[in-house]
Each structure stands twice: as structure tokens, then as C-alpha cells.
Structure 1
């Protein structure tokens, strides 16, 4: 079933988890037990997407601001050549599986004709007041088979009820509009951003999240604490070298400063599975600014971000802001295709395709050859009595490489906390990497080495290591 909007991430199954962002603490439904946390099927599929797109578009696009004021004339919103198909087609061709749209940013301007405010697209000249950007994007996502996610800013500088209990009902009404009129939603995105001098406001996240579960039961919810997807603690796109998908949600407060290090690395053995998401913009700003046309991130920088997000057990959320025409700028588009071509060239030639693999131990039906069969659902698992499990990879001819990827079979948990990689050199083992977590995917950027034998040893783990894929590459 195709998912469509991403403002909210759900966890209806026995493994699911929780979270959202604001100045207030939430006690959303949780599923804690003495057993270790496991992901829901939705969370697993989310990580397998690897790349998700954020699209910041609104009145700020036309006022050349990052944060608006809430006092903008809706008449400034007038894209001259809006084309949602352009967005969806480009994103689909570049491997992005979800598009998250800023349906409403902090200024309160709505990209759909909300009946609860006059600060919306119906008051703009776009299509003579008959436009609906959310609907057009929803239809384009459908056409190009990508999921739709939505961001509905909790902070609303235009709405007069903000700062009172009545605002929670106002926000809920807008949330219901989005969740009931635009098909399936894959993710709902909440944050705790708020400017200095903003009114105090206690958000009713429990109410909002329960509404998401009711109306879009397969959607994932993002915030600092989840419940399904968490912020990684920075906007550079980098996860920690050690990165657990588990956290203790009770120790996180949405919007509270100083939580970055914890969010960046997670916590070993914590009770809540909350996947990390690395958000970063392709430009210095989140909205389009013409003066930044020459500051679009280079392919080298985007590749580094991929290695330090997807390659560190996270999903990459890359923002591409449309310009005043309503389309992605040609520079951004060219950079996206070059970025995709670079990743394709790096990972197209895998030395694991012709490798002899030996394990120190294997459980029945989980043999070592599973790590190279290109079947994500099969995996090698070490025997429970093996104190230091290892895999040895042998090649008929020496290979030269500088990248290694490892993947744990995360439906049964994230278990590895310490491992190393060695190469055979003159009949002796030489350690070339000593690392901690693996998770969905860990990419090791190595000094260039040439060898005909590689050993991976697992030293610390909660349960016997279960590896479903190993890749070996030479990146130029």
C-alpha cells in the first residue's frame, strides 16, 4: 500500500515507539517491556528508503526570509510556473522515496485552503484563489510513486489564539484537514522551533499524535523524541559515529536545548526504538534565496553527508527549496543528478560478488554466504556460544578498496556495539578499523588498501550478530 504524507510516524505494532517536538513533555502511548526494543515494519521500511526529500515552500520564498512574521500579505504568494510534477519526477529519478512538504511554516501561511484561517492560499492570486499546493503535490507523488509527508508547524505567528489552550484545538482542526483530504500520509513532521519573544505555549502533542494514529495509522511521526523518528541533534546531516536506534524517550524534551549529543548517538539498550533522521539543506538556507544560487552544496559535500547519515544508521532528509517560479532551481537539479551519479558509480562495483566467505560459527539456516546474496531478508547469524564471532572474506586475486558497508538485520534488533576489521598482510592480521555500532547500515571510509583476505571480528553485542549484507568498494 502506498503511503503519502509524512507528518506523522506510527507504531501500531508491538514493537512501535513514540515522540514529538515542543516546549512541553509528552507521555504518548508507549510499549515498554523487559525485552529489547525492536522496530515496527514501518520503521524498517523507512530506513530502507535511505533518502527522503524536504521541500520548504511558502511566503518566505517570495519575501526572501527564512522565518516570516505572520503579517505577510497572502498576495505575495504567486508562483509563476508551479509544477509539482517537476518536483516528484526529479526526486523519483534521484532515488528519493518520500517528499515532505511544509504545508504550514512558522508564519502560519497555509499551502491549502484551510477553513480555519484567512492566512492561506485561497487569499493569494495563485490560480485566482482556487489553488491548493498540497493537493497538487499529493497528486504528483501519486503519479511518480513516492510517498507524501507533511510539516505543520506548531508555532504559528499569525494565529491570534496562539499562547492559549484554544490554539491546540485550532491546530488539531488544521491537522485533521490535512490527514483526511489528501490520501495516505507517510510521515508527519513536528518540531519545537520558536523564536525569541514568542508566547509561551503548551502543545497538546498527546492529542495531536493520537489523532494521527486514528486517521493515518500507518504514518510515522517525527520529532526530537519520536515517537517513531527522531531528530539527530544538528542540521549538518551528520549522525554520530556511534549511533543507536534506541533512546529513552522519557529523557528527551521536545525543543529543549542541549540534547544534541544524546540525540546524535542514541543509547545502547534503551527502551524505545526511534530511528535517527539527518536533516540538512542543499543550500545554506531552508527557503530559496537568489543570493545563494552559487552556494549550493557540492557533490563532494553531499556525498560526505550521505556517508555520515545513511552510512551511520540514519535516513538522509535533504531539503531542496523551489524558487519563485515554483520549480526547483536548475543548479539544484543538476547537483541532485550529479550526486546520484556519484553514488551509483561508487556502489556499482562490489567486490563481494566473487568472494569466498567463512564464518567462525553459524546457526542453522543462517550461513555465512547470506551476507553476499543480495537478498535483504536473508542473513548470517553467529552461534550463541561463539564469544568472538568472525567472518573471513577471501579473494582469488588481491582487491583494492577504500569503502566497506555492513548491515545488521534490524527487524530482530540492533545488537553490535564493538567490532574491528583487519586485512591479511604478509601472513599477519593488520587492523584497519575499530568501530562501535552498525545498525541498518554502516559505511566505513578506509585508507586505500590492497589485500586478498579480510577479517571482521565482533567483540561486543547484545545478541549473536546478524549480518544481512556486506559490501566492498573502491571510491575514486
Structure 2
């Protein structure tokens, strides 16, 4: 018999076993579709933000940019696809149209497209090139189209929804199979921005007409949901089910904590997708070339997404050449190398498995938990929601990663479980967790044992598990952390075991020949600090970390503020510590805003801009959406605002905001006026750190 036929028969046999098993177990709750099951198996894929914002250094374009600004000199979609493939990703989702309305294909429903750009004399089509590249490299192709359009003249009118539906049709019927349609719920989120009542049923019908197997992303799916943050981290409890009645994408979506955790027994199967950028922003900026997330940070994201029953969509912005920057590519390959080394050898494979309860169905065996086949599984009897599974290993093994999976085609069931290891003459608990879902990966300290026990403490119905696996991940040298206090003293720390830290302040790359860190570095006037940790006599090095400081707030004091919540004094907005913050009091009497904070810089400076660091502990915390910033010599005469507007995407991505003035302004006093919060229900304002730009 030919080898191909043997493989085919083996596959049919496994499918037959799975089908037989499924017939004996009743499904529980909301269930995934075939498309959702295939989507969940993808686990990890690339997001690409690319457009005029790439060239204007903006996160949210206003739609008034000259389309000719879009002119990549070396655009190579094959390089994007090749990079994604080498990184171990399974697909690419491209921002075909962002909020600025610019279309990366020559749409006949817009005059703000690549057709009007300088790229390829208006004859290019990014979607066409990328869909072909994805097909060449065996990747799935997805598209992001924002219904918000800050350029189209029909936006905000009753006719716009059909315009957008036509735009969707254009994309979804001309570029081959689309595995995911990404919908952003943003809707005129700027001062004076036009609003549109989106016709979501119409939009969904267009998607399913042209791409019936596409998974639709939004705050409420229906294919997959936003995880509630842009950090790429799902909840430690993460249900794939969600209550959607009464909710809609965008501001009308469920609260962030609900999106992060899902709803136990939710109405619909809408699993979490974890979106995050490899850089601080979503679009490329030269200023973030040295801000690519470190390997330890990316590993935190991976285990917080794929390892918590979610899918990871990692944004890798395209630079102004039209290429993935080398810094991003290098980090992606470092992540791939680490994950390959971690999951290369399943130390539990072939272990003897016993369970406290097994169904009478002979096709449902405890041994299936270590056979490496995700289509076979173990299950307890219907009336048993608690069970114990024991792995007897052939010999003691050392592991630090524990993986367990449910057979989600029959629903998500497990509510709580523990992991124990044999230590001496008894079992010792090493982890206590809640949900499992498609995949749960626990990071543990190095453990050497010959027996592992999993206790299912609670489940919605009889637990159905496909795999239990053990792995040994290589040690990763922690990247140093650089901080500066109010006085301008810089400290460098690293959590790794006995690292040696080296740093530079001249912009050069740290080596073992650079200055060795032995104590605080005085940098009150600002500067760039680069640091690296070394072990093994300098043979092993961490990623380089970079911190760019401006003038320290050593001489600064609060001149005026609008009240303050207890324990959150205004001085905390200028203490050099982003983990503390000022929060104003509620104004009351229906006057929620504005709030203001005035600072005396202690000297007159030529200011080129300001920085605002929002609170990072809570998305609904008084973080400022709309602002006005003033500069004064005497603290009394303020004149016109040096800058005013809205912080782009700060609600979902609360990172440091840097605003540059159109013209430098000299002054000793600064005033930040908070005009509106990210959460319109907030009646207070908060500032983690307020800074100035002088360089």
C-alpha cells in the first residue's frame, strides 16, 4: 500500500474514533462552529497596520492628509509573508482601511486610495499583492476595515452604511478566501467628530454572503471577541462564551472585565482574540525603532493569550520603505526560537495515565491524554464533574511548563483544577487555576518528579480533555528595567540571577567594555540610556533596553489643581514615578469637566511639546481623552493653547502620549486642561506623569 494511502486511512480512523466518542457525550452550552474551531487552532498570526499614518507619524489620521504621502519605496508583501511564516504565524490580517478612510486598494467608492497616491503612479494594490503572498507562503489572509471614515463625505449620513457595505463587497469578493474580518467599533471619537449609526446586520450579511467561512471580530463577535485591552492578555479565567444581547461593537460593547473573562454559560460561543503591537503604537514610527518589545515581554504575552484560551494577533507595523523593520523581525525570530525549544519535546508523551473515573465507552481512554492527538480524548461519566488524572512517568523528568486542553467541539466545561507533583512520599500542589478551554499553559518553576496529578475540582458537565503535556522551557535572561526619579537619578535593575549590567549614554550599543552599572546615574537634564544584562562571563546577553529622558521634574512644584481624590495628591503627577498618579475630585453639580493641573517648572524653558502618561491600573480611571495645553511666563497670562486635541486610541492603549507644538513656546508655567475623559461617565481627571519636551 502506498504511504499516502496509509496516512489517509490513519486520518480517517482517527476521525472515526472522534466521531464515535462524540456520539456518546452530550454537548454542553454554546458550541463553536467549524470555522471557529479552525480559527482557534491557528492560535498565532500577524496584524499589519500600514497606511498614510505610517508616513505622518500618527496613530489616528484625520482623513485630510494628501494621499500622495503614501509612497513606500520598496514595498514587498512577500517579505511580510515570509517573515510571518518564519515566525511561526498562521496568517496575516491587514488594515485595508483605517479610520482615516484611506483604502489600500483602488476602491471605486472612495477618492482617498492608493489610486490617488504616489506609489506606483496610482496603479498599485496592496491587498492584491498581500493576498498573493499569503497564498504563496501557505498563510491565511484576513482584512481589517474600519466603518469609521474621517474622509468620506457620506459618513454621518443615512447613505453611508450602504457605501461601507459596497466597500466590504469590493474587498471580500476580489482577493480570495478571507479567514477573518476585523471590525473596529470606533465611531467619531474625537472633538466634534461625526457619528454614524452602524448597520451591523447589513455588514455581517455582506461578509457571510461573500466569505461564509470568515470569522468576524468585534467587541461582541459574532466570530471572536476583543479581549478588552490592547496588551494581548486574557483573563486567568477565560470563558469562550459571551452574553451579547443588548450590546454592540465599540462603546456599546460589554465592560472590559467581561470581555477579558467572557461569561460563564454565555449565550454565544465567541472566544477571545488578544491584540497587541510589537511596538508602543500600532503604526510605524522611527521614534519606536528602539522600543520593540523584549523577548521576555513577548513571552508574557504569548502565555497570557495562547496560554489562556485565546488567540494572539501580534501587530508588526510596516515601515516607510514598505518592509518589516529588522528590529521587529529579529525579535519575532527570537520568540520563535524560544517557543520551538520549549515545545520541542513533550515529556509526558507515553506516560502511563490513570483516571479516577472513565466512561464505559472503550473509545474514551485515559491514555488518549498523552498520545499527542488533539482529536482523541478522555471523559468522565455524565454525572461526574470531579475527577483525578495521574501521570506515571517512566523516570523522573524536569519540567516548567504544564499544558492541558479541552475538546471544545463539545463545549467548554472545566471551572477549576489543580496540578500536583509527587514529592518524596506525597503529592504537593503546584498550581490552582480555573478555566482551560482550547489550551491552558502554566509557567512553573523547574520541577523534577516522576508523577503528576491533575484534579478537576469543578466542571459544568463531565470534563472532556484531549491532552496533558509537560515541557522544559529554556531560561531567558531578563531585560533590564531603567527608571528615573524626580531628582533625575537613573537606576537600572534586572530580575535575572546575578546579572552584570552595562550601560551607555552616548547612543552606542552596550557591551562588556561599556560602563558597568554600580549605582544611580545622575541625568537631570535628560539623555538616552541604553542598558544590557550579561551572564556567563559576558557570553550571554539580554535584549537592549532604551530609555529616552527629557528634563527631570526636580525643580517642579504644583501651582494649582482642581481638587484631588484622597491619597492621590497632585505632586504624584510630577514625581517621576508612573506607578503613582494624581486624581482630581469630582466637580459635582453636573459640571464633570473641565479639570486642570498647573505646574511651576522652577525656571523658564523653551518647550517644544509635552508628554502625558495615563493611569495604567484601570481603563475607567479618569484618563484624559481631549485636552488643551498652555504655557505661561508668569502663571497668570496664558494666551492661546500651545496644543489642543484628542489623544488617539488612549482608551484602549493607555501608553505615554507625546504631543509636539507647531512652534516652540518659552515659559515657566504649564497648564494641562482635561476637557473629556476616555470614559464619558467619569467626573474626574487623572495624570500618572506630566512632562515636557525640550529636545
Choose the corresponding residue for 2:407, options 392, 406, 409: 409
TM-score (norm 2): 0.63
The 4+ residue runs of structure 1 with deviation greater than 4 A are none
Cα RMSD for the two superposed structures = 1.4
Residue number in structure 2 paired with 1:344: 340
Residue pairs, 1:22-421, within 5 angstroms: 36-194=29-187, 195-197=189-191, 198-256=193-251, 259-363=255-359, 364=361, 365-421=363-419
Residues 77, 130 of structure 2: 8 Å contact kept: yes
Q: For residues 259 and 71 of structure 2, what CA distance do their matches in structure 1 show?
A: 38
- Indicate the SS of the match to 2:376: coil
Within 1, Cα distance between the matches of 2:375 and 2:249? Answer: 35
Report the 3-state secondary structure (helix = DSSP H, G, I; strand = E; otherwise coil) of the residue aligned with 2:349: helix
Q: Structure 1's 445 and 35: CA in aligned 2 closer, same or farther, altered over 3 A?
A: closer
Contact between 1:357 and 1:369, CA under 8 Å: does it hold in 2? yes
Cα deviations by residue, 1:248-301 (Å, 9 ceiling, x for unpaired): 111533212771000000011112000100000000010000110001011111
**Is contact 1:252-1:259 (8 Å) kept?**
no
Q: Say whether the 8 Å CA contact 2:385–2:463 is kept in structure 1.
A: no
In structure 2, runs of 5+ residues without a counterpart are 1-26, 476-695
2-structure distance, mates of 1:402, 1:251 = 43
**Structure with the higher fraction of residues in strand conformation:** 2
What is the CA–CA distance in structure 1 between the aligned matches of 2:94 and 2:184, rounded to whole Å? 14
Q: Distance in 1 between matches of 2:399 and 2:28?
A: 39
1:153 is displaced (CA, Å) by 0.8
The alpha-carbon deviation at position 78 of structure 1 amounts to: 0.6
Q: Determine if contact 2:232/2:274 at 8 Å carries over to the other structure.
A: yes
Shift of 1:445: 1.4
Structure 1: unaligned runs, 5 residues or longer? 1-33
- Compute the displacement of 1:442 (Å): 0.3
Supply the distance in 1 between the matched residues of 2:126 and 2:163 (Cα, whole angstroms): 21
Q: Distance in 2 between matches of 1:354 and 1:468?
A: 14
Contact 1:55 1:321 in 2 (8 A): yes
Secondary structure of 2:251's partner?
A: coil
Residue deviations 1:297-334 (CA, integer Å, cap 9, x gap)? 11111111000000000000100001001010011111
For CA contacts below 8 A with separation 6 or more, give which structure has more relative contact order: 1
Measured after TM superposition, the shift of residue 377 of structure 1 is 0.6
Q: Secondary structure at the match of 2:250?
A: coil
Q: Give CA-to-partner distance per residue, 1:148-173, whole Å, 9 cap, x none.
A: 11111111000111111111011111
